[in-house]
Structure formats: C-alpha cells, structure tokens
C-alpha cells in the first residue's frame, strides 16, 4: 500500500466523474485543470450520500 499524502506535499493529479448542481448536469472534476486555472481546491470526503457532512 502506498503512503498517504501528508500536509506540505504535492497531490497527484486525479480526475473524477461528478454532478454539477449549478449546470444540473454531469461533469468532471480534474485537479490538473484546477492548477491550470490557478484555483484553490477544497476536497471534502464523506462516507455516503444521505448522511450529514
């Protein structure tokens, strides 16, 4: 098993299928594109839908 990332390290790029509530359509989250756009990312994990945050 690979070591989990630590604060201060660079994250590996990843892309995930997502739902965009504003567009009301499916979308893709792509960390590489966030970097190109110069944007910060808040990555927020939760165990399952229908639970609190």
Partner 1 sequence: MHKAWRDHEKELASVKYLMASDVKGDVSRQFGVLDEGSGLALRGTFLISPEGRVTNCEVNFYNLGRNIDELMRKLKANLYLTKKKDEGCPSKWKDEGDPTLRPSAQMVGKVHEALHGTGKVESKKQ
Q: Are 29 and 15 in contact (CB under 8 A)?
A: yes
Q: How many whole angstroms separate alpha carbon 15 and alpha carbon 3?
A: 20
34 is an interface residue for partner 1 by CB under 8 A: yes
Least distance to partner 1, CB of residue 35, Å? 5
41 is an interface residue for partner 1 by CB under 8 A: yes
Site string for partner 1, 9-28 (x = CB under 8 A): xxxxxx-xxxxxxx----x-
Q: How many whole angstroms separate alpha carbon 26 and alpha carbon 19?
A: 4
Least distance to partner 1, CB of residue 25, Å? 9
């Amino acid at each position: 098993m690979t070591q989990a990332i630590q604060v201060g390290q660079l994250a590996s790029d990843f892309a995930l299928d997502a739902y965009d509530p504003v567009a009301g359509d499916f979308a893709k989250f792509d960390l590489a594109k966030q970097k190109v756009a110069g944007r910060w990312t808040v990555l927020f994990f939760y165990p399952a839908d229908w639970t609190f945050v």
